[in-house]
């Protein structure tokens, strides 16, 4: 029995339909990943080149077909270079969905030490929430990056190393308006504050609200291609926001921020 079906007189194999559905799914995922970034325009341009290639090949135009074919062959390397951050983010998201990811059933089954006491993480969350709450009350601008899955790479030339335990009072003193460390970001990895006055990459996402400042754009920028949480306290309005996976969530309550920190530091390892 042939695994085919007819549609308007054309015969299709089920594998051909599955092949088409997979391609459509991948294109949709790429669209969602690139939407709102400058790379999206490049992606659209590449789609037009591929569409043009198939068109001139169907019309049997040998010169244009040969030119576009050579461009596509050579352009594969260029595509990898141009879309390196997006490819990295895609693989990062894909890795979270695998059976060996940190929140998968197999990890919980074969790595029971994951179910340890989270007293340290809860203490870190409380210290951050306490500091953020006080800075909101005094309209003290702040940018705190909480690295979640791997040691964050940042510009060590401009930053000041700290290597201290997470402390609300120390966080407040770092972002005090009269402190030489208040400009830039504070980096927290595990239960340590690694560095302050860190310069972060600024997001070029055109969909960000025009009223957001450099802190917010830097928070989005550091989370666009890495699995981190960035917390922002607005100096002008005294409100708190956070960025994750390149998305900015503004004007959240301390309780919402605490839930997000639990999700990142505890639920992510449970």
pLDDT of residue 165: 92
Instruction: Give residue 79's region: left, alpha or beta (phi > 0; psi -120 to 50).
Output: alpha
pLDDT of residue 37: 61
| pLDDT tens digits, one per residue of 214-225 | 999 999 988 887
| pLDDT tens digits, one per residue of 179-221 | 988 888 999 988 889 899 998 888 888 888 888 889 999 999 8
Q: What is the pTM of this model?
A: 0.61
Distance CA 198, CA 228 (A): 15
| Cα distances (angstroms) measured from residue 85 to each of 34, 39, 60, 204, 222 | 10, 10, 37, 13, 11
pLDDT tens by residue, the chain, 270 residues = 456 666 656 666 777 778 888 888 877 777 776 666 666 777 777 778 888 888 988 888 888 888 888 877 776 676 777 666 666 666 666 665 555 455 554 444 444 444 445 678 889 999 999 999 999 999 999 999 998 755 566 656 678 888 899 999 999 999 998 998 888 899 998 888 989 999 888 888 888 888 888 999 999 988 887 778 999 999 989 999 999 988 899 999 999 999 999 888 876 544
Distance CA 71, CA 122 (A): 54
Residues 12 and 19: beta-carbon distance below 8 Å: no
pLDDT of residue 186: 94
pLDDT of residue 1: 45
């Amino acid at each position: 029995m042939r695994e085919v079906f007819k549609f308007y007189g054309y015969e299709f194999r089920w594998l051909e339909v599955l092949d088409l559905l997979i391609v459509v799914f991948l294109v949709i995922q790429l669209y969602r990943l690139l939407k709102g970034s400058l790379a999206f325009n490049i992606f659209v341009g590449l789609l037009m080149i591929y569409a043009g290639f198939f068109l001139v090949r169907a019309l049997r135009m040998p010169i244009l077909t040969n030119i576009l074919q050579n461009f596509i062959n050579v352009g594969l390397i260029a595509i990898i270079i141009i879309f390196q951050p997006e490819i990295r983010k895609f693989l990062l998201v894909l890795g979270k969905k695998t059976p060996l990811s940190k929140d998968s059933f197999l990890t919980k089954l074969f790595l029971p030490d994951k179910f340890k006491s989270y007293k340290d993480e809860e203490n870190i969350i409380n210290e951050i929430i306490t500091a953020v709450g006080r800075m909101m009350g005094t309209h003290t601008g702040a940018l705190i990056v909480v690295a979640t899955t791997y040691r964050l790479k940042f510009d060590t030339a401009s930053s000041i190393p700290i290597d201290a335990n997470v402390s609300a009072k120390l966080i407040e003193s770092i972002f005090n308006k009269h402190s030489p460390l208040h400009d830039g970001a504070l980096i927290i990895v595990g239960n340590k504050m690694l560095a302050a006055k860190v310069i972060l990459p600024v997001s070029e996402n055109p969909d960000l609200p025009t009223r957001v400042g450099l802190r917010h754009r830097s928070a989005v920028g550091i989370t666009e291609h890495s699995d981190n949480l960035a917390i922002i306290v607005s100096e002008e309005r005294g409100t708190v926001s956070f960025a994750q996976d390149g998305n900015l969530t503004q004007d959240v309550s301390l309780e919402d921020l605490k839930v997000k920190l639990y999700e990142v530091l505890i639920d992510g390892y449970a």
